[in-house]
Structure 1
Amino acid sequence: MIEIVRLPAFTDNYLWLIRRGSQAWAVDPGDAAVVASYLSQHDLDLAGILLTHRHADHTGGVADLVEAFPRARVLGSTIGLCGISTPVVDGQVIDIFDRRFEVMHLPGHLDDHVAYYSADPTPLLFCGDVLFMAGCGRNFEGPPGAFYKSLVRIAALPTRTMIYCAHEYTQSNLRFAQHLMPNNQAVNERLQRVNEARAQGEATVPGALEIELHTNPFLRLDDAEIMQSLSLTHSMSPATRFHAVRRAKDNF
């Protein structure tokens, strides 16, 4: 069985390690020193790296790690990423230890963004900056409709899927969700739990997709309170409503 290790980095990033036995894979190693320190402390060899997109806080440690572990494979999208040894495409299946991961191309944050989904035995998704706990990434590239479709793909996964995103943004995201949905009991209760956890210095990631479906405004574009808060109508396309929510979050 694999073990997934959360490694805090920078101000609010989470780097992830998938480890089994004496080997590990790194997910989005923006800081080589953080990853290398853990590997050294636990006497682990780096077998490979999974990249979700090209932003430096996700890729900045790749070169140093490959220099230190030259046999490590680097997997990522073929668009805009340097240093990859194995390009991946949507629908491709890769084996990591005893788990099979499907590559999901999820554009919207960036055009080249991919995620890695494993269905069995417990569904999990390494989603980079596409979906956050109670939020989503900024729409830097491509039309809002592409980002909306990416979120629809994630929402269709099994509800018990554990979401491993790359930033600790949950508290601020839930404040925005509460602003849009002040009477959503699930949001209010979750924000209280998160406030208590963060006061103790505890992480709020990963989290279950089921909770996101009840509290994440970007997965609830038909919510009556959201519609009222932003003066949206059902005559607007879902992509238009998504864009309005994203714009409101950018200015919150």
Structure 2
Amino acid sequence: MTPPLTVHQFPCLSDNYGFLLHDKASGETAAIDTPDGEEYLRQAGLKGWRITQIWNTHWHKDHAGGNLTIKQATGATITAPAGDAARIEGVDRTVDQGDTVSLGGFTGHVINVGGHTLGHIAYHLPEAGIAFVGDSLFALGCGRMFEGTPQQFWASLSRLKALPAQTQIYCAHEYTQSNARFAVHADPENGALADYAAAVDAARSAGRATVPFVLERELETNPFLRADDSALAERWGGGDAVTVFAALREAKNSF
């Protein structure tokens, strides 16, 4: 049996999560994004791990700003999205849809999830049942559409929707409570969503993280993944999934 991967999750900056992905068999450790290079090095030191790779999801500073700090300290190799690489420091390799990355004996599949930024990617490790999605998908939400189009972003989310339902999703921010408030506004008759929102409030009141989360629950409750649901579409003006997604995203921007 292949030794398991360990995900070490820790708070970073104001509302980011940092992730270190460690393969015990090989001793390799990947930093998933680098919002704060010094904190990543400190966390790795506390675990007794050495960061050997950096996997960036997109170019924003709270995801790639610590690249050189880590690379200079460890010699880690940096993998970054092809579409965003020109704005990311220290890149050794670029990847896009269909490419793979490796950590020890584990393979990560690269998924293009452009929309938040044009080149945004996610990393899916099917053997471990996990995916790191950056700012493309959040618990009960999705990222702001800074650079992409509704068509592009909906296609990206559709790729994530197609992952195995039990996939544990690691997103980069603790936005779930505010996302839940909008979700309930968008889809007020969804009983599963009401239960989820209550569970989120309880978790945050107790100081617990709402990340990672299981894709299956999002498929029932996250309005941005349900833009192709006929009942939700009727509430949001009708039309196809792209039109509904665009309406939801615009409404969330000013909610």
**Would you say same fold, with TM above 0.5?**
yes
| Residue 39 of structure 1, CA deviation | 1.4
Which residue does the alignment assign to 1:115? 122
Q: Could you give the per-residue CA deviations for residues 159-198 of structure 1, whole angstroms, max 9, x where no partner exists? A: 0111111011111111111111112111111111110110
* Cross-structure match for 1:62: 67
**How many aligned residue pairs are there?**
247
Aligned AA (2:126): A
User: Is the counterpart of residue 134 in structure 1 residue 121 in structure 2?
Assistant: no
| Match of residue 99, structure 1, among 103, 106, 110 | 106
Asked if residue 16 in structure 1 is aligned to residue 15 in structure 2, the reply is no
Distance 1:20 1:154 in 2: 24
Is 1:209 aligned to 2:212, yes or no? no
Within 5 A, what are the aligned runs for 1:180-191? 180-191=186-197
Is residue 23–residue 103 contact of structure 2 (8 Å, CA) maintained in 1?
no
Q: Which residue of 2 aligns with 1:26?
A: 31
Name stretches of at least 5 consecutive residues in structure 2 with no aligned partner: none
CA distance in 1, matches of 2:184, 2:205: 19
Report the alpha carbon displacement of residue 228 of structure 1 after superposing the two structures with TM.
4.5
Q: Which position in structure 1 is the counterpart of 2:170?
A: 164
Cα deviation for residue 229 of structure 1 reads 3.9
Is contact 2:68–2:89 with CA below 8 Å preserved after alignment?
no
Point out 4+ residue stretches in structure 1 off by more than 2 angstroms.
20-23, 78-82, 222-230
Q: How far apart in 1 are the matches of 2:219 and 2:200? A: 17
Query: For structure 1, which runs of at least 5 residues remain unmatched after alignment?
Result: none
Question: Corresponding residue for 1:78?
Answer: 82
Taking structure 1 as reference, are residues 223 and 105 closer, same or farther at Cα in structure 2, changes over 3 Å only? closer
CA contact (8 A) 2:135 2:142 kept: yes
Q: Secondary structure at the match of 1:201?
A: coil
Task: Tell me which residue corresponds to 1:246.
Answer: 249
- Residue 73 of structure 1 and its aligned partner are, at CA, apart by 0.8
Q: Which amino acid aligns with 1:84?
A: V
Whether contact under 8 Å (1:165, 1:205) holds in the other structure is: yes
Q: Is the 2:9–2:20 Cα contact (8 Å) retained in structure 1?
A: yes
Question: How far did 1:222 drift?
Answer: 3.7
Q: Is the 8 A contact 1:28 1:51 kept in 2?
A: yes
Please give the TM-score of this superposition, normalised by the length of structure 2: 0.93
Write the letter of the residue equivalent to 2:254.
N
Deviates further, 20-29 or 212-221: 20-29
Moved more, 43-52 or 21-30: 21-30
1:224 Cα offset (Å): 5.2
Provide the aligned C-alpha RMSD in A. Answer: 1.3
- 1:89-137 C-alpha deviation (Å, 9 max, x unpaired): 21012211231111111111101101111111x4211110000001100
* Contact 1:2/1:97 (<8 A) preserved: no
The one-letter code of the counterpart of 1:77 is P
- Percentage identity across aligned positions? 38
Cα distance in 2, alignment partners of residues 158 and 223 from structure 1: 19
The 8 Å contact of residues 131 and 165 in structure 1, kept in 2 or not, is answered as yes
* One-letter identity of the residue aligned with 2:177: Q
Take 1:199 and 1:189, find their aligned partners in 2: how far apart are those partners?
A: 15
- TM-score norm. by structure 1 comes to 0.94
Name the residue aligned to 1:155: 161
Structure 2 distance, partners of 1:95, 1:227, is 40
